[in-house]
Amino acid sequence: MGGNRRGLLRTCVNLAVVFLVTGLWHGAGWTFVIWGAIHGAMVILEKLFLGRHLDRSPAVLNHAYVMLVVLVAWVFFRADSASLALQYLGDMFGLAGITGGEPVYSFFEVFGRRCLVLTVPGIWLSAGGERQARRFFRNTAAGNVLEPLCLTLVLVCAILLLAADTYNPFIYFRF
């Protein structure tokens, strides 16, 4: 296909084809094609102009941007239909009445207090807080014990939250 050696237009076409095929490879459904198209479109937009702006943006905004794109794309990957994916996205962004029908899940049903235990530290750590935490742990005598203990506690909490979730079979068994 020529890779990226035949100009910007050809590179963008190649990226679009690769990501659409990646979507089809994961499953023969429109949701997978949309998932691939979202990823491909974002890579192309970054290559064309968005990348320059992201390079100059603070790391926190870059993290938020990536998480938003991935979060939206994975809704399509996991949903049974494109209309259900749009309904999920409407619920996620507080637009349940606009997308039609009853909300699939309410915000508080999915994101309760138990998720805050991991979400708040996760946001803080992914936004650069881990550098502050490392400085704290290094400058204390108990740091060699506290750091692994805290990390183990977060891991155990995450595993418990996943284990307590409803039955969810492996996604590729649906084919």
Tens-digit pLDDT profile for residues 6-25? 777 887 888 888 888 888 88
Give yes or no for a contact between 73 and 38, defined as CB atoms under 8 angstroms apart.
Answer: yes
Based on the residue annotation, tell me whether 26 is a catalytic residue of this protein. yes
Q: Quick one: which of 66, 68, 88 has its CA closest to 76?
A: 88
Lowest mean pLDDT among 45-59, 78-92, 111-125: 111-125
CA 102/CA 96 separation, integer angstroms? 7
Pick the more confident residue, 64 or 146. 64
Name the average pLDDT for the chain. 76
pLDDT exceeds 80 at position 108: no
Q: What is the per-residue pLDDT for 170? A: 60
Q: What is the per-residue pLDDT for 49? A: 86
Neighbours of 5 (CB within 10 A): 7
pTM of full prediction above 0.75: no
What is the SS3 assignment for 169? Answer: coil
- Of 26, 39, 53, 63, the catalytic one is 26
Over residues 87-103, the pLDDT tens digits come to 888 877 777 665 556 66
